Amino acid sequence: MPPDLDERIRRLARKPVSVCPDAAGRSVISVKDIARLSAEVGMAGKALALRALKMGIIPERYVRNMDTLSPADQVRLLKSHAAVIGLGGLGGTVTEILARAGVGTLTLVDHDSFEDHNLNRQIMSSEANLGESKADVAMKRVQEIDHFLDVHVHGGYLSEENAHVLVQGADVIVDCLDSIPARFVLQRIAGETDRPFVSAAVAGMSAHVMTIFPGDPGLEVLYGNPLDAPEKGIETVIGTLPQTAIMTAGIEGSEVIKVLLNKGRPIRGGILMIDLQENSFELMTLD
């Protein structure tokens, strides 16, 4: 770290020009200034953002996270690692949310490529990227949003053999899969490695979300015995609408952030059952 680093950060800091007049008098530093300083001093942008936050200077990209998130929360998110498994209707939007919120390290896994039938709800799909790997597109998207974040991608299947390695180092495992047996594999790995597991599923205009800590009741309350669980649910018959996928991913992303920050009340020991047809959001108890 250059000896005059703090002084250089301080010189680049300024008062926010427009929004957040109530940002408690904090100074901000822009994306461009962090990038320039990163090139000048040979330090990663994320490390500079962390240094600025510790000095009470907010990277301006996070200023609208304040004060729902404190600078200390922002530091904690930047030092966190989330593994998002499945990058379709849920995972694409969850990734977008976590990247924008400032989760510092993301592991993104999906074996699939974008196809026409993804376009109705998968936020990272477009006509231009049909046929491209979802993992590669997600990586590119995250780097477009925030090139300071660390991103690891795996464009192959999650299996019993590789799951442990794929989620290594993650503070939270996020289940955005579309295969019920694969969801069970992921839940087991989360339990074995003592990590929280956020799981959601969608079909038509309905969804459910749960946050499972090791030892909590888990997916078996929904799908029964893992050995006997079906591959898919009713989504094969009723599809999934965009509003369901994107809204549910919003709730799933929110759970991940609460878990990483140990803030708020996650959907723990319960399950949030959603039916947009009825505008029904029911938090039910599992025990």
Partner 1 sequence: MHVSVKLYSILVKYMPENAASYPIPEGASLSHLIRALDIPEKIHKGLVVFVNGRIVKDLDTNLADRDEVKMFIAIGGG
Residues at the site binding partner 1, with contacts judged by CB under 8 A = 86, 88-91, 175-180, 183, 200-208, 221-224, 230-235, 237-238, 240, 271, 273, 275, 277-278, 280, 282, 284-287
Closest CA to 86 of 258, 254, 252: 252
Q: Which residue has the tokens 């499945």?
A: 86
Handedness of CA 27, 31, 32, 38 (dihedral sign): positive
**How near is the Cβ of 282 to partner 1 at its closest, in Å?**
7
DSSP per-residue string spanning 248-283: HHHHHHHHHHHHHHT-S--S-SEEEEEETTTTEEEE
The residues with which 29 forms a beta bridge, in sequence order, are 59
**How near is the Cβ of 30 to partner 1 at its closest, in Å?**
36
**How near is the Cβ of 176 to partner 1 at its closest, in Å?**
5
What is the CB neighbour count within 10 angstroms for residue 284? 12
**How near is the Cβ of 243 to partner 1 at its closest, in Å?**
14
* Structural contact between residues 125 and 92, judged by C-beta atoms closer than 8 angstroms: yes
Nearer to partner 1 by Cβ, of 75 and 274: the residue is 274
Look up residue 246 and give its amino acid.
Answer: I
**How far is it, in rounded angstroms, from Cα 249 to Cα 202?**
9
Nearer to partner 1 by Cβ, of 77 and 108: the residue is 108
**How near is the Cβ of 214 to partner 1 at its closest, in Å?**
20
Nearer to partner 1 by Cβ, of 35 and 286: the residue is 286
Nearer to partner 1 by Cβ, of 2 and 156: the residue is 156
Nearer to partner 1 by Cβ, of 19 and 238: the residue is 238
